[in-house]
Structure 1
Amino acid sequence: MTSLHKVNLPKRSRNIINSKPLILFICMLTFICSTTFAEEQKPDATVENTQKNANKATLIKKPIELTKQHKEDLKHYLAGEQVKPLLAGPDDYLTLVKKHTSANSKGVVILLPEWQQGATNPKAINYLRNALPAKGWSTIAIQPSNKPENYPSTAITVAEQKKENQLILKEYKSKLNSMLNAVMNTAREYPGIVLVIAQGNNAALLVDIYSQDDSLQPNALIMLSSYRQSNHALINSVNENFAHQVASTELPVLDLYLKHDNQLVLNKAAQRKAFSKQEMKVYYRQRQLNNTVTGYYPEEELLSQINSWLKAIGW
Structure 2
Amino acid sequence: MKKNTALFNILITFMLLSTCTLSFAEDSAPESEVAGDSTAIQNTTSEDNNSVDKVYIIPTPQASRISALENSLKIRRLTHQINILEANEEPFLTLYQPSLTSSTQGCTIILHSDNEHPDWPDAVAPLRNSLPKHSWCTISIEVPDITKRAEPVSTLIETKEESGPQILELPNQEMVFARIIATMNKAQNDGVEKFTFLGYKTGAAYALNFLANNQTTAEALMLIDIETPSTITNYNLAQQIRKVPQPILDYYVNSNAGSNQFATWRKQAANQRTEAIGDFIQLDSVPDRVTGKKSKQLLVQRVRGFLKQNTSQIDQRKTLPSVKKGLFYESP
Range into which the TM-score falls when normalised by the shorter chain? 0.7 to 0.9
Q: Which residue does the alignment assign to 2:132?
A: 133
**1:253 equivalenced with 2:248 (yes/no):** yes
Q: Does structure 2 conserve the Cα–Cα contact (< 8 Å) formed by 1:70 and 1:118?
A: yes
Q: Which residue does the alignment assign to 1:200?
A: 201
1:24 aligned to which of 17, 31, 34: 17
TM-score by length of 2: 0.71
CA distance in structure 2 between the partners assigned to 1:63 and 1:195 by the alignment: 35
2:266 aligned to which of 263, 268, 272: 272
Counterparts of 1:223-234 in structure 2, within 5 Å, are 223-230=223-230
Q: 1:63: Cα distance to partner?
A: 1.5
Q: 1:307: Cα distance to partner?
A: 1.8
CA distance in structure 1 between the partners assigned to 2:3 and 2:268 by the alignment: 121
Local SS of the residue matching 2:79:
coil
CA distance in structure 1 between the partners assigned to 2:303 and 2:80 by the alignment: 27
Q: Does structure 2 conserve the Cα–Cα contact (< 8 Å) formed by 1:204 and 1:226?
A: yes
Q: Which residue does the alignment assign to 2:321?
A: none
Q: Which residue does the alignment assign to 1:241?
A: 236
Q: 1:220: Cα distance to partner?
A: 0.8
TM-score by length of 1: 0.74
Counterparts of 1:165-180 in structure 2, within 5 Å, are 169=169, 172-180=172-180
Q: CA RMSD in A?
A: 4.0
Change (3 A) 1:88 1:287: same
Q: Which residue does the alignment assign to 2:295?
A: 298
1:284 aligned to which of 274, 280, 286: 280
Q: Does structure 1 conserve the Cα–Cα contact (< 8 Å) formed by 2:238 and 2:266?
A: yes
CA distance in structure 2 between the partners assigned to 1:279 and 1:89 by the alignment: 33
Change (3 A) 1:47 1:146: same
Q: 1:96: Cα distance to partner?
A: 0.7
Q: Does structure 1 conserve the Cα–Cα contact (< 8 Å) formed by 2:98 and 2:136?
A: yes
CA distance in structure 2 between the partners assigned to 1:186 and 1:302 by the alignment: 28
Q: 1:240: Cα distance to partner?
A: 2.5
CA distance in structure 2 between the partners assigned to 1:37 and 1:167 by the alignment: 74
CA distance in structure 2 between the partners assigned to 1:192 and 1:209 by the alignment: 18
Give the partner amino acid of 1:25.
S
Give the partner amino acid of 2:206.
L
Counterparts of 1:34-73 in structure 2, within 5 Å, are 37=32, 40=36, 42-55=39-52, 58=55, 61-64=57-60, 66-73=61-68
**1:313 equivalenced with 2:310 (yes/no):** yes
CA distance in structure 1 between the partners assigned to 2:170 and 2:298 by the alignment: 36
Give the partner amino acid of 2:111.
L
Across the two proteins, how many residue pairs are aligned to each other?
Answer: 289
CA distance in structure 2 between the partners assigned to 1:119 and 1:51 by the alignment: 43
CA distance in structure 2 between the partners assigned to 1:6 and 1:191 by the alignment: 122
Change (3 A) 1:131 1:171: closer
Local SS of the residue matching 2:80:
coil
**1:76 equivalenced with 2:76 (yes/no):** no
Q: Does structure 2 conserve the Cα–Cα contact (< 8 Å) formed by 1:111 and 1:140?
A: yes
Change (3 A) 1:247 1:226: same
What stretches of structure 2 of length at least 5 have no aligned partner?
160-165, 314-332
Q: Which residue does the alignment assign to 2:319?
A: none
Q: 1:154: Cα distance to partner?
A: 9.0
CA distance in structure 1 between the partners assigned to 2:86 and 2:2 by the alignment: 111
Q: Which residue does the alignment assign to 1:185?
A: 185
Q: 1:198: Cα distance to partner?
A: 0.8
Give the partner amino acid of 1:210.
L
Q: 1:168: Cα distance to partner?
A: 11
CA distance in structure 2 between the partners assigned to 1:100 and 1:47 by the alignment: 65
Q: Does structure 2 conserve the Cα–Cα contact (< 8 Å) formed by 1:67 and 1:144?
A: no
Q: 1:84: Cα distance to partner?
A: 0.6
Q: Which residue does the alignment assign to 1:162?
A: none
Q: Percent identity?
A: 20
CA distance in structure 2 between the partners assigned to 1:225 and 1:202 by the alignment: 10
Give the partner amino acid of 2:125.
N
Change (3 A) 1:240 1:154: closer
Local SS of the residue matching 2:304:
helix
Q: Does structure 2 conserve the Cα–Cα contact (< 8 Å) formed by 1:225 and 1:257?
A: yes
Residue by residue over 1:177-208, the C-alpha shift from the partner in whole angstroms, topping out at 9 and shown as x without a partner, is: 22111111223334563221112233223323
Give the partner amino acid of 1:218.
A
Change (3 A) 1:228 1:259: closer
